[in-house]
């Protein structure tokens, strides 16, 4: 399983073993789920970075699953909505061409970006789900993390990592159940 994300998935500001990808791996071990995780998330990654990461990682690891957790940095940079959508779409198509299960974690932005841009940004993920019904979408709202953000107001605390891990795991379980 490949995880392609940014600082929200790389564990910035918390103990690395408490990041949601590591918590997910711990749950796999506890439940005897035979999936290794390669977390290629890095602070600052954008959707454009994600395209190259997925291309390179598929050659090296041949994952059966890819979790895409990108878009937040693009939004914080105020990139055009169509650019973000196009890049995410390209990542999804790459993963599907490799016959992978794809989970996309929908990002959101802080309220200071204004309601119009935030609404258009969040709609990207709904449109991707409509265009690619075979992917699974894990959604969060800013309300899910009230009181669970680090002092920067962007990065989830250690406690919030459990919320993310549980939702991602439910998505994985749903996909696995549909395979049976």
Catalytic residue among 9, 10, 155, 171: 155
CA pair distance 124, 86, nearest whole angstrom: 9
Distance of CA 112 to the CA centre of its chain: 22
Lookup result for tokens 């909505």: 81
Count the neighbouring beta carbons within 10 Å of the beta carbon of residue 98.
18
Query: Under a CB-based contact definition with an 8 Å cutoff, are residues 69 and 4 in contact?
Result: yes
Torsion of CA 168, 170, 174, 176, to 10 degrees: 70
Query: Under a CB-based contact definition with an 8 Å cutoff, are residues 43 and 6 in contact?
Result: yes
DSSP per position, 112-175: GG-HHHHHHHHHHHHHHHHH-TTSEEE---GGGGTT-B-TTSSSB-HHHHHHHHHHHHHHHHHH
Catalytic residue among 7, 19, 41, 171: 7
152 included as an active-site residue: yes
155 included as an active-site residue: yes
Catalytic residue among 29, 56, 141, 152: 152
Q: Which two tokens stand for residue 82?
A: 């169509």
By annotation, the residues acting in catalysis are 7, 152, 155
């Amino acid at each position: 399983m490949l995880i392609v994300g940014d600082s929200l998935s790389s564990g910035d500001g918390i103990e690395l073993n408490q990041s949601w990808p590591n918590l997910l791996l711990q749950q796999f071990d506890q439940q005897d789920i035979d999936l290794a995780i390669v977390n290629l998330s890095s602070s600052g990654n954008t959707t454009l970075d994600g395209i190259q990461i997925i291309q390179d990682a598929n050659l090296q690891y041949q994952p059966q699953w890819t979790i895409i957790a990108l878009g937040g940095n693009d939004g914080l940079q105020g990139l055009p909505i169509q650019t973000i959508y196009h890049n995410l779409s390209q990542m999804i198509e790459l993963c599907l061409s490799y016959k992978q299960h794809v989970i996309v974690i929908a990002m959101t932005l802080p309220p200071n970006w204004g309601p119009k841009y935030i609404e258009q940004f969040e709609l990207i993920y709904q449109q991707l789900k409509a265009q690619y019904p075979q992917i699974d979408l894990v959604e969060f709202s800013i309300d899910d993390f009230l009181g669970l953000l680090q002092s920067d107001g962007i990065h989830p605390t250690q406690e919030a990592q459990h919320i993310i891990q549980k939702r991602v795991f439910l998505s994985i379980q749903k996909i696995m159940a549909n395979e049976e």
